């Protein structure tokens, strides 16, 4: 028996059988609500529309509701579409460690499967907690991006744990869900290299879709390759190298809600640029940005980041994000529209930037997210340093902050309806949540 898969099962089982801690449950509910708010913003996004056109109508033995509609689809297809909405704007939560990733990618598959089971709110919260703990432990264990693999490979594992937990699987079905979910779902890091495509925002939902598919098969007795981690041609050998998982800390409390729709390593940069914009005067002559190596590798170094041609590249470009914030202010969901990608003011501002990586900031990451921006203008020099941005677990979002974020995306009335149902979710059933979502007006 695979010891790593068994450890994941045992930890997930422990979470499902214990009472919920108030703080942890509260933070999970915030992330459920946050993921739904940001999904609404992508209701009519092009990649999501393409998925609908390509895959609907759809039905299966188990069916779940597409967010903000009354339409149902096979549970794995619903997971893909709802998950793509959640990730499209790069506005959902983040966890930073050896691997940087988005734990809320685990929420759509659990909600979709929970609806088919008519699960109670407590079960949903605990299943999402199980998935979050798995993804956090994997992120802490080893980075796979430098080996050429994308972090959503880990989503295949954590989503499998969350979905298998909500289905009440015992060890045999749980382990086979894990085996089937991982074996054929190793994702290439090319997804995030160079000019980024629509797949950047949809690859995690595809990973979780495959995990749902695996759970459906395992639930009926289908078996998968084992031992999936430690086998001769298993995960350790082919993908990650050996690692051990540590479930001793609470990973949920170290996940972070995004304050702006930008790749998380640019969060401090966006905040610093916005604060500078309030104070600077005169023509910008040059901009010096001090950052850390991980940010440089992911959102700075590629030449495509200086002239992003797609929304997916722009929201993963620190130069673009700083330039947009200095030029137009707080980035909204339209900050990556084609008119801005070709904007001469933004492009000219990018050309005035110089980036340096410092040992000082390297040592601060990932516990902090440091940046220093110095702007020289025709009237003087202005400087701003941010170490911990708003929404970071050391400067966390409150419920009021979250309601404000949701109100900015969908309007206060509908945001408050969702706020109320999710905040009291442990007292409700999953159908209550989907009923409120289906009543939200489609005004995007």
72-74 and 63-65 strand pairing:
antiparallel
Cβ contact 31:257 at 8 Å: yes
Q: How far, in Å, CA of 263 to CA of 258, rounded?
A: 9
pLDDT digits 0-9 by tens, 215-241: 999 999 999 999 999 999 999 999 999
Token digits for 121? 């709110």
- Sign of the torsion angle spanned by Cα atoms 356, 360, 366, 367: negative
Angle 55-82-222 from CA coordinates, rounded to 5°: 70
In the CATH scheme, what is the code of domain 264-386?
3.30.1330.120
Token digits for 172? 């045999």
pLDDT digits 0-9 by tens, 248-285: 999 999 999 999 999 999 999 999 999 999 999 999 99
**Residue 133 dihedral angles phi and psi, to the nearest 5°:** -65, -40
Q: How far, in Å, CA of 243 to CA of 140, rounded?
A: 10
Let me know how long the chain is: 444
Half-sphere CA count of 292, side-chain side, radius 13 A: 21
What count of other Cβ atoms lies within 10 Å of the Cβ of residue 190? 11
Domain layout of the chain by residue ranges: 3-259+408-439, 264-386
Full pLDDT tens readout for the chain, 444 residues? 799 999 999 999 999 998 777 899 999 999 999 999 999 999 999 999 999 999 999 999 999 999 999 999 999 999 999 999 999 999 999 999 999 999 999 999 999 999 999 999 999 999 999 999 999 999 999 999 989 999 999 999 999 999 999 999 999 999 999 999 999 999 999 999 889 999 999 999 999 999 999 999 999 999 999 999 999 999 999 999 999 999 999 999 999 999 999 999 999 999 999 999 999 999 999 999 999 999 999 999 999 999 999 999 999 999 999 999 999 999 999 999 999 999 999 999 999 999 999 999 999 999 999 999 999 999 999 999 999 999 999 999 999 999 999 999 999 999 999 999 999 999 999 999 999 999 997 665
Structural fold of domain 3-259+408-439: 2-methylcitrate dehydratase PrpD (1.10.4100)
Token digits for 15? 């979470």
């Amino acid at each position: 028996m695979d010891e790593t898969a068994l450890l994941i099962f045992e930890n997930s089982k422990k979470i499902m059988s214990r009472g919920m801690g108030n703080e942890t449950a509260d933070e999970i509910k915030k992330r459920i609500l946050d993921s739904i708010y940001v999904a609404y913003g992508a209701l009519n996004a092009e990649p999501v529309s393409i998925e609908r056109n390509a895959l609907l109508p759809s039905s299966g033995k188990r069916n779940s509701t597409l967010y903000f509609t009354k339409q149902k689809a096979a549970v794995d297809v619903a997971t893909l579409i709802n998950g793509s909405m959640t990730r499209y704007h790069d506005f959902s939560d983040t966890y930073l460690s050896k691997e940087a990733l988005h734990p809320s990618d685990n929420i759509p598959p659990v909600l979709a499967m929970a609806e088919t089971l008519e699960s109670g709110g407590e079960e949903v919260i605990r299943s999402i907690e199980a998935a979050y703990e798995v993804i956090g432990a994997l992120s802490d264990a080893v980075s796979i991006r430098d080996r050429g693999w994308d972090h959503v490979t880990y989503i295949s594992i954590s989503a499998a744990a969350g979905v298998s937990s909500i289905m009440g699987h015992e060890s045999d079905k749980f382990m086979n869900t894990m085996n089937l979910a991982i074996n054929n779902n190793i994702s290439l890091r090319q997804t995030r290299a160079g000019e980024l495509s629509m797949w950047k925002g949809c690859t995690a939902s595809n990973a979780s879709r495959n995990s749902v598919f695996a759970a459906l098969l395992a639930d009926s007795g289908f078996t998968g390759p084992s031992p999936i981690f430690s086998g001769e041609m298993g995960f350790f050998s082919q993908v990650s190298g050996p690692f051990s998982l540590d479930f001793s800390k609470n990973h949920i409390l170290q996940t972070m809600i995004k304050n702006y729709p930008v790749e998380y390593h640019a969060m401090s940069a966006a905040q610093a640029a916005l604060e500078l914009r309030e104070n600077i005067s005169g023509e910008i002559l040059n901009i010096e940005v001090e950052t850390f190596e991980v940010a440089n590798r992911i959102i700075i170094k590629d030449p495509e980041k200086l002239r992003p041609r797609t929304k997916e590249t722009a929201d993963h470009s620190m130069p673009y994000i700083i330039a947009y914030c200095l030029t137009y202010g707080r980035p909204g969901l339209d900050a990556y529209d084609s008119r801005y990608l070709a904007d001469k003011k933004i492009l000219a501002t990018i050309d005035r930037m110089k980036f340096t990586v410092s040992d000082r900031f390297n040592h601060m990451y990932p516990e902090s997210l440091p940046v220093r921006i110095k702007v020289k203008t025709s009237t003087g020099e202005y400087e701003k340093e941010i170490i911990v941005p708003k929404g970071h677990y050391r400067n966390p979002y409150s419920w009021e902050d979250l309601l404000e974020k949701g109100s900015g995306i969908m309007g206060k009335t509908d945001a408050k309806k969702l706020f109320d149902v999710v905040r009291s979710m442990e007292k409700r059933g999953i159908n209550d949540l989907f009923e409120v979502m289906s009543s939200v007006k489609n005004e995007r």
